[in-house]
Structure 1
Amino acid sequence: MQAQQQGAGPVAVVVVTWNSAEVLPGFLDSLPSGMAGLDWRLVVADNDSADDTVAVVRKHAPEATVVETGRNGGYSFGINAALRAAAAWEGGFGAVLICNPDVRMAEGCAAALVGALGTPLPDGTEVGISVPVLHEEDGELIHSLRRESSVTRALGEAVLGNRRAGRFPRWSELVTAPDAYAGRTEADWATGALLALSPACVAACGPWDESFFLYSEETDYCLRARDLGLRTRLEPEARARHLGGDSRVSPRLWSLLVVNRVRLFRRRHGLPATVAFRSAVLLRELSRAALGREPARAAVRALLGAPRSPHQEV
């Protein structure tokens, strides 16, 4: 089976938790079906939960490797802690599956994702990251594929809105074309609720960037992988549900998402382009703030007054 040829060790199923006790039982119960056909081991990095998260893991998955990080250092911090623990397993690990605890994989989802890794592509690159077709809890398709940020795409989203602009590759980061989710589609990056990483990708990209506490860490990782010839591809035979979506309603999380988009853009582009990109993002948030949307108001405040630090370039 191709899925078993991604490394000598088992697939490392990496989950980062923080006060996740409510959603964990469903995730853990769904793993045997979702991971069917694979040799796998679970490693949970808990970022200092104040609830019963760790107890839930130990009860429902006593064989799991549990890393209690001791502090909430962010999503990348947790992923890196989990990968270090998996590297210490006898024989190490093969492919990696990065999962949010509020993901529910359909049967055989992981095998389809892992089986796609390493597939050669016509341009001489290969699949280093594979992602499933994601649906909301109510069954609605999640547009999880993304194009790399650009000034024109940020402006298009500001003027037209994400979904309308998504029909035009030049004018939106969001990929909304139905056929993109019906076949094997390469993208610059994909949302990080569920990602399979090849051993080659893990080795080439190294640690996840811990300067992103939350949001844009998967963007950074996928773009770094792409730069190294390891592409992100949607695997239509792999399906999962994602119960999340807090960033849509929480002003704090939405403002963090928006600011981190600009920070990442600054790392990959010069100052003039970053000023234009930041202005386009600000225009989008201002237009929504004018409609009374509190998350957008929080994002405007963050963009205009975000404190500078060694890890914050904007």
Structure 2
Amino acid sequence: METIAVVVVTYNSQRLLADLIASLGPGLEGVDWHLTVADNDSHDDSVTEVLRWKPDATVIEMGRNAGYAAGINAAVSKAGPFTAVLVLNPDVRLTPGCIHPLLAALRTDGTGIAVPLLKDGDGKLIETMRREPAVRRVLADAFLGAGRAGRIGTLGEMVTDARKYRSETVTAWAEGSTQLISADCWNAVAPWDESYFLYSEETDFALRARDAGLATRFTPAARAVHLEGDSKVSPGLWALLTINKVRLYGRRHNRVATSAFWAALLLREASRAVLGRKPSRRAVRFLLNPEFLREVPGPHTVHGR
């Protein structure tokens, strides 16, 4: 019998939790599962809400906003025995029977992570598959736009061709809101890198899993709803997402390559800032910040793992 450790990281997530927890029973029907929640010092009643709807859940109060990766690591460390870890955002809703195609995908040789097809609250496909970050892909995004670049061969980092979402396939990585990770993969690759705080931690984990011979498998027979966050509209979150891309790239490439990646990102964000995009303006300021340049492996220094 499969046993699933469901792990959720909360931060002021009270309004989302009743519907998430309600979806777990139907989504995980037929398998044993237990819920562990790491709360990043919420100022609402997130902890109370979890226990209201799932009294036997394990809740870890982090005592600070420790970040997404730290929450996942803490939750898994306190979870009971498992054959797989299901990482979920609070704004995810599983569809009935979602777990079974994901488990079947994990049984495919060389697979460590299985991810479902996601739709947003309006039923629109969320383009979750990603290719490995590369300079040419940042430039393609800058000059063609992510949507167009993602439909031309393997040019874009984001896979935007809807036809690619019709069948099961291996992807370099996938957005981190809904991921089933085998126990073997977790034991070989974990913990998640807490230095990212938010964004790129799922990229880092998936690429390290791939380095260990364990692929991420997109599984459209499994479906879930992701109401989605606000990284695309919040200047602060977009800036964090952008600088973490440089951090990730710098930890996997040499100084010259990382400098080129940083310059390509700066070009992309500057071109959008000129058009009045506020998140890109914030990203440019971060990319040019001397403290950031000293901290991040890029034009000035390369940090090893």
Q: TM over 0.5, yes or no?
A: yes
Q: How far apart, CA to CA, are the structure 1 residues paired with 2:295 and 2:128?
A: 27
Q: How far apart, CA to CA, are the structure 1 residues paired with 2:294 and 2:7?
A: 29
Q: How far apart, CA to CA, are the structure 2 residues paired with 1:298 and 1:233?
A: 34
TM-score by length of 2: 0.95
Aligned residues of 1:145 and 1:174 also touching (Cα < 8 A): yes
For 1:77-226, what aligned pairs fall within 5 Å after superposition?
77-86=70-79, 89=80, 92-120=81-109, 126-226=110-210
Aligned residues of 1:147 and 1:187 also touching (Cα < 8 A): yes
* AA of the residue aligned to 1:75: Y
Q: How far apart, CA to CA, are the structure 2 residues paired with 1:273 and 1:310?
A: 17
Superposition RMSD in Å: 1.4
Aligned to 2:215, what secondary structure does the other structure show?
strand
Could you tell me which runs of 5 or more consecutive residues in structure 1 were left unpaired when the two chains were aligned: 121-125
Counterpart residue number, 1:264: 248
Q: How far apart, CA to CA, are the structure 2 residues paired with 1:213 and 1:101?
A: 17
Which of 23, 35, 43 is 1:42 aligned to?
Answer: 35
Which of 59, 65, 73 is 2:52 aligned to?
Answer: 59
Q: CA deviation at 1:306?
A: 5.8
> Structure 1 148/284 Cα, relative in aligned 2: closer, same or farther at 3 Å?
same
Post-superposition Cα deviations, 1:69-122, rounded to whole Å, max 9, x if no partner, equal 111110000001001101xx3xx22100000000011111122212211312xx
The number of residues matched between the two structures is 298
Counterpart residue number, 2:232: 248
Post-superposition Cα deviations, 1:255-281, rounded to whole Å, max 9, x if no partner, equal 000000011000000111111111111
Counterpart residue number, 1:123: none
Aligned residues of 1:152 and 1:170 also touching (Cα < 8 A): no
* AA of the residue aligned to 2:274: A
Post-superposition Cα deviations, 1:234-255, rounded to whole Å, max 9, x if no partner, equal 1111011111131011000000
Aligned residues of 1:169 and 1:175 also touching (Cα < 8 A): no
> Structure 1 111/178 Cα, relative in aligned 2: closer, same or farther at 3 Å?
same
Aligned residues of 1:33 and 1:106 also touching (Cα < 8 A): yes
Percent same amino acid at aligned positions? 53
Could you tell me which runs of 5 or more consecutive residues in structure 2 were left unpaired when the two chains were aligned: 299-305
Counterpart residue number, 1:22: 15
TM-score by length of 1: 0.92
Aligned to 2:139, what secondary structure does the other structure show?
helix
Q: How far apart, CA to CA, are the structure 2 residues paired with 1:118 and 1:311?
A: 40
